[in-house]
Amino acid sequence: MDQITELITRSIFIGAGATIVLDIWSLTLRLFGVGMTNWGLVGRWIGHMPQGRFVHDSIGNAPPIAGEHAIGWMAHYAIGILYAAALLAITGLEWAHAPTIWPALIFGWVTIVAPFFIMQPGMGLGVAASKAPKPNVARFRAVLSHTVFGLGMYATALLAAELL
């Protein structure tokens, strides 16, 4: 397969796989009473963007958007795939053929920039969840989730190296 097709195929496989790992992690935490990300609210935030509304005082108080749960879940997986594509663009397909843990883990940590400085402020939680009821808990959970995502990219890259 040509390089572009391989990049796209591996990005989808690794990004969706890592997102599934993250979702399994979140479901496991839920068994212990730890709340999961409400992708419907993320979909609501995204759903307001075409009208020019990028920042909310509280996304929970914003008017609901038709299909917000589907929008949020699709965005969740699309972002995972885009992150995998970015990792592969940085490391090259050579990394995908023989994955090592550090590039994926470090990239997972770098991606914490997006929720801290884009999503959380846009949804009314402030920079790095500074306006959340328990900012340090929210920050810790975000860092932990992005660590799990990075580990998920490594694990699914290993699987892809065997299967693709």
Query: What pLDDT, in 10s, does the model give residues 44-85?
Result: 999 999 999 999 999 999 999 999 999 999 999 999 999 999
> Does the CA dihedral 14-82-103-107 come out positive or negative?
negative
Give the pLDDT score at 28. Answer: 95
Tell me the pLDDT band of 35, cut-offs 50, 70 and 90: confident
Pairwise CA distance, residues 81 & 10, whole Å: 9
Bigger pLDDT: 35 vs 125: 125
Separation CA 91–CA 68 (nearest Å) = 34
The average pLDDT across 115-137 equals: 97
Mean pLDDT of 130-154: 96
pLDDT average, residue stretch 130-152: 96
Answer whether residue 1 shows pLDDT above 90: no
Q: Please state the rounded mean pLDDT for residues 131-147.
A: 96
Q: Distance from CA of residue 10 to its chain's centroid?
A: 17
pLDDT tens digits for range 89-100: 999 999 999 999
Q: Looking at residue 119, what DSSP letter applies?
A: I
| Beta-carbon contacts of residue 101 (< 8 Å; ≥ 6 apart) | 151, 154
The pLDDT value recorded for residue 36 is: 84
The answer to whether residues 32 and 141 touch, using CB atoms and an 8 Å cutoff, is: no
Exposure pattern of 111-120 as b/e (b: 16+ CB <10 Å)? bbeebbeebb
pLDDT at 4 over 90: yes
